[in-house]
Amino acid sequence: MASWIGIEEFVAVATTGSFVGAARLLRLSTSQVSRAIRQLESRLDAPVLLRTTRKVTLTDTGRALLEPLRKLVAERDEALAAASGGNNPKGDLRMTCSIGLGERFIAPILRRYAVDHPQVNVVLDLTNRIVDLVGEGYDIAIRTGNLTDSSLMGSRIASRRLVLCASPGYLAQRGQPQSLNDLAQHDCLVGTAEAWQFDVEGEKRSIYPRPRWSCNSGDAIASAAIAGMGLCQLPEFYVADAIADGRLITLLDDIRRADEPVWAVYPQRRHLLPKVQLLIERLKAELGPALARR
């Protein structure tokens, strides 16, 4: 429909801050995005974007149009989703999650989801970096702790526990810490989280241990702890088996941080799409029990 040409492309450029980001979000080429916006500007007889080699900014006309057009695109998506078969998900679904949680839990859940919904094409990107969902064109991400990005919506789908632990051999040589102050005297093994979290007399405390050894793999940190290299604080699923069979011993349990939330987060304009709704429902049903068993 000619009257729609340029509208979604303009909203995408304004949202992502670039033509490249908009093209990625819409799964188009940058030339297609640029051409569509030029057609929109021709119909308006006014520019909506100012383009330089460094950045893209909105004109006065663009600023006036952005929110009404953003709402128009969102309402269109929701109406089409509702009319396309109710809870029958279809199309591409791009999801991102941290590597450890993703490999153990999210990938199997998403695999079962894809089997049950053959009209959905699934891409799962496992990475420990914080992905820009809008700018990089993702539908949903799994994140833990407090949510800080107000542009995203979130549904709590599970909880996870952080555990401080060390091997019996290490503790026999170095002694068992009795307080947070004692941690400064120990070798610390640090993963992707630079801060270790505790609750002391109802107050949240974060400490930043000086690592003797660090790695961005939770499995590698757990293995180092089992080998007697030092203390680590990790999500329980990394160390549950080693704790159960005595290869690791939990420490400072009396000031362990309360279980932290696990969230499914997603751009606002996608939260009513059936493919996202049904995946969130499945994550709530399956991830929480899976983590609890660990």
Q: How much is the mean pLDDT over the chain?
A: 88
162-255: which CATH number, 3.40.190.290, 3.40.50.11030, 3.40.720.10, 3.40.109.10? Answer: 3.40.190.290
Q: Mark 183-206 as b/e (b = at least 16 C-beta within 10 Å).
A: beebbbbbbbeeebbbeeeeeeee
| Topology given in CATH for the domain delimited by 91-148+264-292 | D-Maltodextrin-Binding Protein; domain 2 (3.40.190)
The domain ranges of the chain are 2-83, 91-148+264-292, 162-255
Overall average pLDDT of the 134-150 stretch: 82
pLDDT digits (tens, 9 = 90+) for 206-215: 999 999 999 9
Q: Which of 112, 105, 135, 97 is nearest to 15 (CA)?
A: 135
Helices (H), the chain: 7-16, 19-26, 30-44, 60-83, 99-101, 107-116, 133-136, 168-174, 218-226, 236-244, 274-292
Residue showing tokens 């810490």: 177
d(CA 21, CA 254): 47
Domain 162-255 in the same topology as domain 2-83? no
**Domain with residues 2-83, CATH architecture:** Orthogonal Bundle (1.10)
Q: Is the pLDDT of residue 35 over 60?
A: yes
> Is residue 77 very low, low, confident or very high in pLDDT (cuts 50, 70, 90)?
low
pLDDT digits (tens, 9 = 90+) for 230-252: 999 999 999 999 999 999 999 99
